Chain A
Amino acid sequence: MNAFRFLGDMTHLFSVLVLLLKIYATKTCSGVSRKTQELYLLVFVARYLDLFTDYISLYNSVMKIVFITSSAAIVWYMRRHPQVRRTYDKEQDTFRHSVLVAATFVLALIFNDRFTFREICWAFSIYLEAVAILPQLVLLQRCRNVDNLTGQYVFFLGAYRAFYILNWIYRYFTEGHHSRWIPWIAGLVQTGLYADFFYYYFLSWKNNVKLELPA
């Protein structure tokens, strides 16, 4: 495992834990898109189903379990917890996420490495992950004033994908992967979606002011 891949995994893990701890500690989820969280849960379940069929390493299995359980916990808090669910911005979080699920599933049926259950699930999870942040970005834009922790959550999530792209470039040159166009394209789209957010995040950090996204 190269350093980019490891840093990617760590920023990814950190983003999910930051969000879970924020919700757990403050008992609020304002500014957090439940739709994005449900999409991520679906992404993790679709991709990490191989947990039960293919053993790769202890690191791999533990991380998969942590990702599935922590995102399930976030969804559970937002849907079921008596205090947390009342702070959910339901009226603002209106993105039609079922459209994203349907579109990426069809895409996975057409573009996959092999027409098998495992490969279709894998391609679906990659495509869905690329666009899963959209409801969250729309919600952040509507709320204008972004909570520090929510801002950090999106920042680490974006950093994760950027590190993964560096990892793929590194692997491409050191191991010679030639048929990895699915994650390449999806990863570039996914990272591109964050570009705007990153720009305002750095501005707020540089000027030491609260993050605010333009309408």
Chain B
Amino acid sequence: DSDDEKHDEL
């Protein structure tokens, strides 16, 4: 979901 995709960035 949209929460996870931001956490894949550094």
A residues at B contact (CB < 8 Å): 5, 9, 12, 50, 54, 56-57, 60, 63-64, 67, 113-114, 119, 122, 164, 167, 175, 177-180, 183
Contact = CB atoms under 8 A, between A and B. Distances in A.
Interface of B: 2-3, 5-10
Contact of B7 (A54, A114, A167): A54
A50 B7 contact: yes
A183 B3 CA distance: 13
A179 to B, nearest CB: 6
Contacts of A60: 8, 10
Contacts of B8: 56-57, 60
A9 B9 CA distance: 9
A67 B9 CA distance: 13
A124 to B, nearest CB: 14
A75 to B, nearest CB: 19
A114 B2 CA distance: 12
A180 B7 contact: no
